Structure 1
Amino acid sequence: MKKSLILLGAALAMISCDKGTSSSAGLKTAYIDTVELMENYEELKDWESKGKVKKEEMERELQEEARKLELDAASFQNEMQSKGRQWAELKYQELQKRQRDLGIKQETMMMQLQEEFGVKRDTILSQMKRHIKEYGKKEGYDYIYGTGDAASILYGKEEYEITDVILKDLNKNYKGEATTTETPEAKEEDTTAAK
């Protein structure tokens, strides 16, 4: 009798298990690979690409000024003997000031880049979090976890992963396409039908 009750309980537990639901608590859960999300979200990639281009432009400008300063310093070394001590002292002070100004300009440019692109990156990340939250509410999830560099999950069954769905939605929204939220079940049906 006890064995049949245990078997009946186990059978009921197995039957009640839903693919998108945690069997122990009856909660609908999923997880997202945050590293993949960050690497493949097109708006974030576009913005980081723009930041890289602007950084390279600023670095070229700074390198050109540094090169001119080096040439002037080399010229100073050659002319120092022939133009006299007073000229050498004034020229040396000028070169030092230019070097300090160049360092200040570099710091200012880096701060400008960090401010401009850091704020926009934070805004994009906030939009992603908001989208995930809305998606979770819409699809009836109790929890959506994140994996990746700052992992809060060390293991998860692949059928609970919704990274592709979220990434697809985010990229559609960024491109201005109509969003059709695809559930993980529909995703699996698509892959099963494709086989």
Structure 2
Amino acid sequence: MKKVILLSMVTLAMISCNKETQAVEKVKTAYIDTSKLLEENNEAKDIEEKYKVKSEEMGRELRAEASRFQNEAASFQQNAMAKGQAWAQAKGAELQKREQELGMKQQAMLQTLQQESGKEMDSLVKRIKDYVKDYGKKNGYDYIYGTGDAATVLYAKEAYDITTTISKELNDKYKGSEKKEEAPKEEAKK
């Protein structure tokens, strides 16, 4: 009798373990290297390039102002002795004020560029997250993890890495939206 009870308990344990193993095997997971995904994303590259160009344009204007200021400062030093102490003090205060204004203008320019590019990148990241969510639903994934700078996965088999697939699809989708935007421009030219 004891053997029958023991045998039935072992059988139940094996059956329940088998069910747990089957349940685990049915879970479909993957991961995406989020850093790599953004590095390879064409839209992210375009945003980066756009703000690089914008920064260079704004920087040119600021450098021209700074150059004029430096010329005035050099001229001030040459004329200070000849024009007297009262003139030197007044002109020195004016130059100091302009130097502060240039610094504030540079700081404001950098802040504006950071805010604008930050908004666009945040919007891109949100669209990527939405895309990954839809991709997961469409392809029957139970979990898609993110790795990279803010790692939420410490280890995963490379077979579960779908970064390249997602990156390619996002870039193809972005190319498609670029063509749609270019078509109205070309029609307007005609």
Deviations 1:154-187 (Å, cap 9, x if unpaired)?
221121111111111111111117xxxxxxxxxx
For residue 149 of structure 1, report the CA deviation from its aligned partner: 1.5
Once residues 86 and 106 of structure 2 are traced to their aligned partners in structure 1, the CA distance between those partners, rounded to angstroms, is 31
Superposition pairs of residues 1-195 of structure 1, within 5 angstroms: 23=25, 26-176=26-176
User: Partner amino acid for 1:58?
Assistant: M
C-alpha distance after superposition, 1:23-46 (max 9, x if no partner): 3xx311000011110100000111
Unpaired segments ≥5 residues, structure 2: 1-6, 178-190
CA distance in 2, matches of 1:153, 1:119: 27
CA distance in 1, matches of 2:33, 2:121: 18
How far has the Cα of 1:63 moved from its partner? 2.1
Query: Which residue matches 1:187?
Result: none
Deviation at 1:86, TM superposition (A): 2.1
- Amino acid in the other structure paired with 1:134: D
| Paired positions, count | 166
Q: Distance in 1 between matches of 2:159 and 2:22?
A: 17
> 2:107 is aligned with what amino acid?
E
What's the TM-score, normalizing by structure 2? 0.78
Identity of aligned residues (%): 50
Q: Give 1:58 shift.
A: 2.0
Q: State the alpha-carbon separation in 1 of the partners of residues 40 and 146 from structure 2.
A: 15
- Amino acid in structure 2 at the alignment position of 1:53: V
TM-score normalised over the length of structure 1 = 0.77
Mark the runs of 5 or more structure 1 residues left unpaired by the alignment: 178-195
Match in the other structure for 1:182? none
Report the Cα offset of residue 16 of structure 1. 5.8
State the Cα RMSD in Å.
Answer: 2.4
Provide the C-alpha distance between the structure 1 equivalents of 2:109 and 2:87, rounded to a whole number of angstroms: 33
1-side partners of 2:121 and 2:150: how far apart? Answer: 18
Larger Rg: 2
Q: Which structure features the higher share of helix residues?
A: 2
SS of equivalent residue, structure 1 residue 30 = strand
Structure 1 SS opposite 2:28: strand
For residues 100-141 of structure 1, the C-alpha deviation after alignment (integer angstroms, 9 at most, x for no partner) is 110111111111101211101100010000000011111111
User: CA separation in 1, counterparts of 2:154 and 2:55?
Assistant: 36
Which sits farther off after the overlay, 131-140 or 78-87? 78-87
Amino acid in the other structure paired with 1:44: A
Q: CA deviation at 1:59?
A: 2.2
Matches of 1:80 and 1:160, distance apart in 2: 72
